A and B are shown apart, each in its own frame.
Chain A
Amino acid sequence: MNVAVETRSAPRALRQPSVLPGFGLTFGFTTFFLSAVVLVPLAALVLMSLRLSWSEFWEVILDPRAIGSYRLSFGASLLAASINLVFGFIIAWTLVRYEFPGKRIIDALIDMPFALPTAVSGIALTTVFAQNGWIGQYLEPFGIKVAYTWIGVTVALTLIGMPFMVRTVQPALAEVQKDLEDAAETLGAGRFHIFRRIILPTVLPAMLTGFALAFARAVGEYGSVIFISGNLPMKTEITPLLIVIKLEEFDYRGAAALGTVMLFISFIMLLAINLLQAWGRRRHTRTGR
């Protein structure tokens, strides 16, 4: 309903003088930029993979090694994004709601995974979680191996995605007024009830966005994972690595075919999350403001 109204009024908005001059110019630039940087390369990728015959294409993408890598890539990414959904929320909550010494430092630390070259985080994680590493040596007696297993991959992807979650949820949480909780409390609601009925509905859209961002980042991650995963075919090999291997063998078409599959699955998943979000928005603010 909202969307319909906007489209109808769009031509008028175009004609109206705007605060920022040169709407035509900027819009043209946006289209051009998107095409040059995003759409054309993606189309080239798909075209490249189409040089394979259908049977070759299917053979490449349904190869057991490839399927194993999809499972790890998307499985670990989903798991990492889910972990971030919970813990990223808790971190954001802590940063928004409490005052404590060193808060600014922790707030700045959140962004570190953004800035660090991913290979560095990979090496650092491997050092810590290896069998003789700081943390790894204590997990070893329990039979938990982190480095060179799918757990290690998940740990790396969680680290990479965490800032996306925290940074999207933080502003949404800051919007939840303390008054709302106070009101709910005087009306007899317990803590869990307040969280479920008042806080969660308000920040859920932001959490979904954060989830989508963290997931997308994790699917595309390469640098940090290859160090900690050990890269055993079928077991700890992620799809991006498989693509690099194909490239090193000069099998450009095979690499493009795998790339197309990743593109397709990622698109479907992000679309699903977006639809979920839109549905949630409609449900909560029915006709919108």
Chain B
Amino acid sequence: MSITLDQVTKRYQGAPVVNDVSLEIGDGEFFVLLGPSGSGKSTLLRAIAGLTGVDHGRIALHGRDVTHTAARERGVGLVFQNYALFRHMTVADNIEFALRVRRVKRAERVQRRKELLRLVALEGMDERLPAQLSGGQQQRVAVARALAHKPEVLLLDEPFGALDAKIREELRRTIRQVQRELGITTVLVTHDQEEAFAMADRIGVMNLGRLLEVGRPDELYKRPATRFVATFLGAANLLLARQSKDGIHFGNHAVNARAVDGSVSGREHEVVAVLRPEEVELAPTREALTGSYLAAGTVEELVFTGALERLRVRLTNGSAEVQLAKTNGDGEYLEVTRTQHEQRAFQVQRGQDVAIGVRRIHVLPTPLSSFTACAASDVEVEHLSRQPLLVELATRMKTRVATRVEPALANGSRDCASRSGKFVGAAVVAAQPDTLKDIECLLARGAEEVFVLPPNAPSPQRVLIHWADEAAKTATLAVSASLLRHLSAEAIYVDVIPDGGSDSQRPHGMRALLDARSEAQAVHGLEMRTELRVGNVSTELVRQLGESADPLLILGISQINNLAHRFADLLASTPRWPMLIVYREPEVSA
């Protein structure tokens, strides 16, 4: 492996900007770190270069641990967005800088310089000053300069940021060519997904300091695992659907589209389906569709962009079964793109009613598809749905907050069992004296997660994770991973060994801890720290929460009555911290 990152963390004033990133980049690979600004991608690149120290973790280049090695001894070449050429030196002096530092003989220097200038197609420019070159030429000089000392790794920090489209295209090709010719391992940082697709062997998508997903461009585009990647890499319509053994349902009708997901648990559950604009089919009638029917709609907007036609199709009110995971502000519409070929087959105008079909749909394997705020009255529901933490989470997760008035949640109400309305997805309740009863009620009626929210809870800095038994482990890890992708908080798994247990239990506890950690990393891409405590579970969790600044607890259970007797301390009085209770029935093995 050329570059190995192991749990790299970098904090600024306590807040992690690079959060537990582990990654391996192979020899000669062109790897692109993609993410919005502030996602930590540039910091990570600087950490690889050695210009920024790391607070935690290990960095190795070609198997050599360089975590504590100075930048100048790491043997990397770095290219900056603003070129960072030495303006008082000629092109020749700039390129030879690294060679002069190494006291390379003059003849050799000149030869190497000529070779590099040929490589970046700037022959004869030796004696120019940077100010006499165009932006594109300056960046070529910067690339040549970064390669002069034959580095093992080339790092490019948004190298095309300051260039206009045409030159960008040209330079992209040059850099890709140079990279292939030299076979040098390269890491490029960018926020431009088109650039990432055009250049990368593999892409790693970062957000909020975390490396969310890594994969080949086409893989990531076709089968994203997270909402963020689905919407950041190209356009995507996110739809709420229900998945069961029979397939994917929107409302009452099943969609017969090619869904790619194997792991279907027994109980019907809510999922987020990704529908790419180009996988939407439009036809005059439902019968004329070649794909599976989704809904009826009206063409609202139609833009011709050359090769493609972009449309916005508003869903007709009648087809209320189709719910978007995220409303686009003014109502429910789908983004659609159509090729020339499709346009010729069926021409549409603005305002035209069409039937909408689906060619291919991808179901995200992540839980927490939507939140439903539940309270006893309109006012309370409204208040709850506006809680800053809930709004923040919903915005970051690109999901919606539905509201639902539940008289059963009124104080002193006892009619939980008699109510029959079913729940799907994650319910949100306000923290109050008898929250425990509310949770039990909602879980019994089908909610998979219950989010308990004290008033004005701050955005969590630390997420504590605990599960009551092994049966709840996988689901809890999946929920934790899903939530933590959208928070810049650190994750800590807390395991508690009962007090009075002998020392012989300790090794067992340690092993459970390590297992949990490796499963979190391998299956869910979640990096978490672990802590082992001794004592009463509930008391220890309360203590841990009390010691943390702005914590959030994710608690997994597989038996509802477990809550009352094992976690009484946590839930008996009004909970002080936000808590996410994850409930999964144990699988019944056939």
Residues of chain A touching chain B, judged by Cβ–Cβ distance below 8 Å, are 177, 179-180, 182-190, 193, 197-198, 201-202, 284-287, 289
Contacts and interface: CB of A to CB of B under 8 A. Distances in A.
A187 B149 contact: yes
Interface of B: 46, 49-51, 70-74, 76-78, 80, 82, 84, 86-88, 97-98, 101-102, 129, 131-132, 142, 145-146, 148-149
B80 A179 contact: yes
Contact of B78 (A177, A186, A286): A186
A243 to B, nearest CB: 43
Contact of B86 (A193, A198, A289): A198
Contact of B88 (A186, A190, A201): A201
Contact of B84 (A183, A201, A285): A183
Question: Nearest 9 pairs between A and B by C-beta?
Answer: A187-B98, A179-B84, A284-B88, A183-B84, A186-B78, A188-B101, A188-B72, A185-B71, A289-B131
15 contacts: A180-B84, A182-B46, A182-B71, A183-B78, A184-B86, A184-B97, A186-B49, A186-B74, A186-B146, A187-B98, A188-B73, A189-B97, A189-B101, A198-B86, A284-B88
A284 B90 CA distance: 9
B101 A187 contact: yes
Contacts of A286: 129
A116 B160 CA distance: 52
B78 A193 contact: no
A49 B379 CA distance: 96
Interface hub of B76, B84, B132 (most chain A Cβ within 10 A) = B84
A47 B72 CA distance: 64
B51 to A, nearest CB: 5
B129 A287 contact: yes
A180 B84 CA distance: 5
A190 B82 contact: no
A188 B149 contact: yes
Contacts of B97: 184, 187, 189, 197
A208 to B, nearest CB: 15
Given A185-B72, A193-B101, A285 B88 contact: yes
A182 B146 CA distance: 12
B133 to A, nearest CB: 12
Given A198-B86, A202-B88, A284-B88, A186 B101 contact: no
Contacts of B88: 201-202, 284-285
Contacts of A177: 82, 84
Given A183-B84, A187-B72, A285 B129 contact: yes
Interface hub of B72, B82, B131, B142 (most chain A Cβ within 10 A) = B72
Given A186-B49, A188-B101, A193-B101, 14 more contacts: A180-B86, A182-B78, A182-B80, A183-B145, A186-B74, A187-B72, A187-B97, A187-B98, A187-B101, A187-B149, A188-B73, A189-B97, A190-B101, A285-B88
A187 to B, nearest CB: 4
B82 A179 contact: yes
A242 B49 CA distance: 62
B51 A187 contact: no
A186 B76 contact: yes
A179 B149 CA distance: 19
Nearest to B127: A286
A287 B102 CA distance: 29
Contact of A182 (B51, B98, B101, B142): B51
A193 B148 CA distance: 18
Nearest to B131: A289
Contacts of B73: 188
Contacts of B50: 185-186
A150 B15 CA distance: 56
Given A285-B88, A285-B131, A188 B82 contact: no
